[in-house]
Amino acid sequence: MGHGGGGAMSGELVEHVFLPAFADDDLARLADSAVLPLLGGRVAFSTDSFVVRPLFFPGGSIGDLAVNGTVNDLAMSGAEPLFLSAAFILEEGTDVTKVGAVAQRLGEAAERAGVRVVTGDTKVVETGHGDGVYVNTAGVGVVPEGVDLRPDRARPGDVVIVSGDIGVHGVAIMSVREGLQFGAEVESDCQPLHRLVSAMLDVTRDLHVLRDPTRGGVATALNEIARASGVGVEVVERSLPIPEVVANACAFLGLDPLQVANEGKLLAFVDRDHADEVLAAMRAHPAGAGSAVIGECVEAHPGMVAATTGFGASRVVDLPLGEQLPRIC
């Protein structure tokens, strides 16, 4: 508990664990807030807390999620992510080397994504009131001129593209947590998407909607966009890029792969005239190599998502009611 008191022990934790992991001059100044270099443009601002269990999993960690989750939220507004905050809620008794390992992974992920951790906070709660480490990040980025990405900008005729295999993060967490094997080890798809978005915006600044289908999966993201924009969305099930291991896991567990979380994929709503070129740009980027058109927006059934099944029938793709799997991110 002493490490959360703001005194000498807090200072040691910051000096020996967090500062080396984030290596940032502005952070090292330890002011109450960081004053950023002048930003030329509209600022995008986002936050997420991360409570994933376990802290380390195949293909990632809570530190990677904390960076990529907020970076991707900024990227979905078309912003170039620049600065992150990192706030830790530590449970009393958590091994300091574990805290250090999380901070290290967070710092490395920030470096890979090209963002700086410039401000932070640490709190400590008693045993039984936390779970090792919870992390919150907030992010600041700059939106290029002419970019206006919003969930309410989908229009009938828009083509819906996904940037690759779906359901991978959720199945990776399930397999490690429940000790289940689905034929092959599955690694989380956790990755930053802002450079992919930048490549898409190089084709046209007039992308309509981007969203990363995290908790609640593709089904939730499509429903939210359909409602916000007042359009129908029609998905062709056969066109969905679902890896065999995800299909197997979902069949075994009785889950719909459309409702399983992703941490390194995006959905794009693009007008028909630009769709081919945007798809080509996505496939040319490592983070979008598996991109595929999965459906379109229609005037019919506004606010609803329908899927054409392999047998040619149509079914409603609904929001999951509650959680499939708690604490997936």
Nearest approach in angstroms of CB 276 to a copy of itself is 26
Nearer to a copy of itself, 1 or 300 (CB): 1
Measure the CA–CA gap between 104 and 119, rounded to whole angstroms: 16
- The H-or-E segment that residue 105 falls in is helix 96-113
- Chain positions 2 to 21 lying near a copy of itself, rule: CB under 8 A, are 2-11
For a copy of itself, give the closer residue by CB, 3 or 272.
Answer: 3
Q: Pick the binder of a copy of itself from 64, 73, 165, 296 (CB under 8 A).
A: 73
Quickly tell me which residue has 């470096």 as its tokens.
111
- Tokens 């409603």 locate to 316
Element (H, E) at 235: strand 232-236
C-beta closer to a copy of itself: residue 121 or 299: 121
Residue in 21, 55, 86, 278 binding a copy of itself, rule: CB under 8 A = 86
Residue 261 or 278: the one with the smaller Cβ distance to a copy of itself is 261
- Using the contact rule CB under 8 A, the part of the chain among 125-133, 238-246, 273-281, 298-306 near a copy of itself is 125-133
Total of residues contacting a copy of itself (CB under 8 A)? 87
The helix/strand/coil state of 302 is coil
Tell me if 214 sits within 8 A of 262, measured CB to CB: yes
- Contact between 138 and 94 under an 8 Å Cβ cutoff? The reply is no
> Locate tokens 């195949």: which residue?
58
Among 66, 110, 113, 124, binds a copy of itself (CB under 8 A): 124
Q: Which is nearer to a copy of itself, 206 or 277 (CB)?
A: 206
The only residue of 17, 55, 66, 74 in contact with a copy of itself, by rule CB under 8 A = 74
Look up residue 239 and give its amino acid.
S
Q: Shortest distance, CB of residue 244 to a copy of itself, whole angstroms?
A: 25
Question: Interaction with a copy of itself in 289-328: which residues (CB under 8 A)?
Answer: 318-324, 326-327
Q: Cα 46 to the chain's mean position, in Å? A: 12
Please state, as a whole number, how many other Cβ atoms lie within 10 Å of the Cβ of residue 23: 13
Q: Which of 112, 150, 205, 283 binds a copy of itself (CB under 8 A)?
A: 150
Contact window for a copy of itself (CB under 8 A) among 15-23, 140-148, 300-308, 309-317:
140-148
The pairing of strands 209-211 and 305-308 is: unpaired
Site track 21-50 with a copy of itself (rule: CB under 8 A), x = hit: --------xxxxxxxxxxx-xxxxxxxxxx
Q: For the segment 155-194, give every residue that binds a copy of itself (CB under 8 A).
A: none
Kindly indicate which of the ranges 126-134, 160-168, 182-190, 239-247 contains the residues binding a copy of itself, using the contact rule CB under 8 A: 126-134
Tell whether the torsion through CA atoms of 175, 176, 180 and 186 is positive or negative.
positive
Pairing relationship of beta strands 80-91 and 60-61 according to DSSP bridges: unpaired
Residue 152 three-state SS: coil
Q: What mask of x and - would describe binding to a copy of itself in positions 214 to 253, judged by CB under 8 A?
A: xxx---x---x---x-------------------------
C-alpha 149 chain-centroid distance? 17
Could you tell me which residues come within 8 angstroms of residue 311 by beta carbon, excluding any fewer than 6 positions away? none
